Amino acid sequence: MLITCRHPFSLGETPQARLTFRRLGPLTLSGAAELTTSLPAIRLLGDAERDQVWRLTAGHPLAMEYLDLLLARGERYQDLVSRIEAAITARTEIPRTEIPRTQPTELPDATAEQIASAAGDLMSCDLFGRLGTAARSLLIRASVFRVPVTAEALAARPGPIAECEAAGLLTVGPGHELGVHRWTAGALHRRLTLAGQGAQVAEIGR
């Protein structure tokens, strides 16, 4: 049985030795190539740019998808690259001239995670900022739940649901349940906390 999870866990009385944990690191070059050629905006870029996307996102699939969504919404590639590089430098202190040099699979785990997080935070917050008021409110409410919930539980209307889904920030399950990826939720909560709205998020989650 294969289980994907964010943190290691225990199965109660089951001997822990029977569990084997493997960390899923950045996508390999071939894995990134397969993903980027399937994304509608990124696949229009040249080989060098697609390789740069892999490095700027530290091979994180969701960060690559965010980048694709922003390009599809009219963001200029070089402008977006400059902003991502600046965010990575601010988070990691890696000089901008050195960011593209190391392949993500060769980076220390902590560094790869920092780079992916910096890029992901910037882009997910950009996508969030483009939402209408009702869609933003819905996404905030949905983000405090660790598991998908029904639209009725969130008092969510079809329009905001569709807007959040189109932005790549909300998933709609087969039973129409709504969920926000924990990576996305973390970026959103950090943005709201910096904006002085952390208490509001905490109150919604109670």
Contact 182, 124 (CB under 8 A): no
Beta strands in the chain (DSSP E): 171-172, 178-179
pTM over 0.95: no
Q: What are phi and psi of 179, to 5 degrees?
A: -145, 150
Q: Say what the pLDDT of residue 97 is.
A: 84
Residue ranges in the chain modelled with pLDDT below 70:
1-18, 21-24, 198-206
Q: Which residues contact 203 (CB under 8 A, 6 or more apart)?
A: none
Residue 20's pLDDT is what?
72
CA separation, residue 98 to residues 82, 84, 132, 162 (Å): 13, 13, 37, 39
Q: Which of 62, 56, 60, 66 is nearest to 88 (CA)?
A: 56
Assess contact for 76 and 65: CB atoms under 8 A.
no
